[in-house]
Structure 1
Amino acid sequence: MARVLVVDDDPRLVKVVASLLHKRDHQVESVPNGELARQALRRGGVDIALLDVNLPDINGLSLVFQLREEGNTTPVILLTVRTEVQDQALGLRLGGDDYVAKPFNPEVLLARIEAVLRRSAAGAAPRAEEVQSGYLEIPPVLVDLTARQVFKDGAEVRLAPLEYAVLEFLATNRGRAVSKEELMLRVWGTSRGVSRTLAEHISRLRRKLGDGLIVTQTGYGYLIPAPPGDRATTAR
């Protein structure tokens, strides 16, 4: 059971979503604007937020960006009628955890919520502490997030900017399998036409950092396994 905050000024949509979530035994709180959403998220106690992008008082993308700047890590699924790839990429880059277009299939929305909650639960606290320190250690690799440098066994490994971007996103999501589509959206801003380019970047990272660092999830995407003792996604 999760505590879900629904942020939308359309009472009919809120009613439908709340009914859907109640059937899965989730607790639901709803607010009609961004300021009330900000207050609720700052107050805490929310496991996930469904945030409409087009709110009456503030753009949802601006709100999620502000929250992330404040250090608020509550998972957020963005809801919007806009389906352009560029809009989806921007929403993810600004801090959204997923992006669902309206009108949506109820079962798909539920599946997206459950997937984001699983990702959030899988080792989120240790990763947050590492990111705050500015370093991510994946022995024998160390990622300096501030300087955007990578070291293996103490020696610097030079990565191209996009190679570093791929590595950083996988590393900050350590323990979670990341789909190819999500990775391409995050790094290239589109999920179309760059699948082969992504594969090439993964191949180069493996050559530079070792074959065992990045695991392929067949038919889905890629994974950097969680440290021993943490719950990790099953590898290939």
Structure 2
Amino acid sequence: MRLLVVEDESHIREQLQSFLSELGYVVDAAADGREGLYCGEEYPYDLAVIDIGLPEINGIDLIRRLRELGKSQPILILTARGNWQDKVEGLEAGADDYLVKPFHNEELRARINALLRRSAGHATPQLRFGPICLDTAAKTVQINDDLLELTGFEYNTLEYLMHRAGEVISKTELTEHLYDQDFDRDSNVIEVFIGRLRKKLDPGGDLKPIATVRGQGYRFTLPASTDRTPEVT
């Protein structure tokens, strides 16, 4: 998942970027509202974390402008303790949730997980499709209750495909949402990850959870066991 962090206090911005990167997210960071707006216009994000008190363009106006541009990703606002007006104004501008400074990293992690799964139509951290259960909180994958060993890249790829189950996801979209700017976009690394995932998820070749749509990309094909049924086109 690709996240945008817009925070003018350098130590908080660096803390957020470091913590979220450790969780496996690709994180772009901006120091003011104008830079945040540029990033929001130019790059696809799965979620944005935006401070209210930003220079250049304040956080409320930034949220409004992103929504006016048709950007629908979840937005988590950071507010000062006790300033309920900021919370209300931010939510009315288009934010989805708020976190009060100072905050604990684990609360940040939990709120981001909740926003991401809700945006994908899931009510719980467990994504269940057939015998496969992916836990977005624990970052684990099980098949018929057996724990599967995945690398970070493999897990991130599978999580994104399962969040978008039934949709065709291109290689370009996968690289933009899952990997940083240094990722070799001209290589066949995505194909390697998909191939390894298929072998680990479906060693017998019976499930066929990831289909290749020739010339377009990949689609996670298993029906949802709970929460929702993916729309397969």
Tell me the matched-pair count.
Answer: 128
**2:227 match:** 232
| Structure holding more helix per residue | 1
2:93 matched residue in structure 1: 94
In structure 1, give the amino acid aligned to 2:69: E
Equivalent in the alignment of 1:80: 79
**Stretches of structure 2 lacking an aligned partner (at least 5 in a row):** 123-223, 229-233
Mapped to 2, the partners of 1:58 and 1:88 lie a distance apart of: 17
Query: Counterparts of 1:3-152 in structure 2 under 5 Å?
Result: 3-122=2-121
- Identity over the aligned pairs, expressed in percent? 38
1:6 aligned counterpart, secondary structure: strand
Q: Displacement of 1:66 after TM fit?
A: 1.8
2: distance between equivalents of 1:10 and 1:86? 21
Amino acid at match of 1:101: V
> 1:10-59 deviations in whole A, cap 9, x for unaligned?
11111211121122111111110111111111113211111011011121
Q: CA RMSD in A?
A: 2.2
Cα deviation, 1:50-94, whole Å, max 9, x if unaligned, reads 101101112101110122122211211101214333332221111
- The structure, 1 or 2, with the larger RCO (C-alpha pairs under 8 Å, 6+ apart) is 2
Following superposition, the deviation at residue 105 of structure 1 comes to 0.8
Contact 1:5 1:50 in 2 (8 A): yes
Secondary structure of the 2:8 match is: coil
- Alpha carbons 1:122, 1:231 under 8 Å: kept: no
Structure 1 runs, 4 residues or longer, greater than 4 Å off: none
CA 230–58 in structure 1, closer or farther in 2 if over 3 Å, else same: farther
Alignment check: 8 A CA contact 1:78 1:96 kept: yes
Separation in 2, partners of 1:64, 1:98: 12
CA positional deviation for 1:230:
11
> Using the alignment, how far apart are the partners of 2:78 and 2:54 within structure 1?
11
Q: Distance in 2 between matches of 1:50 and 1:231?
A: 29
Residues 58, 22 of structure 1: CA spacing in aligned structure 2 closer, same or farther, 3 A cutoff? same
Alignment check: 8 A CA contact 1:41 1:74 kept: no
Partner of 2:206: none
The whole-number CA distance in structure 1 between the counterparts of 2:92 and 2:107 is 22
Alignment of 1:156-171 (within 5 A): none
Structure 1 CA distance for aligned equivalents of residues 57 and 82 of structure 2:
20
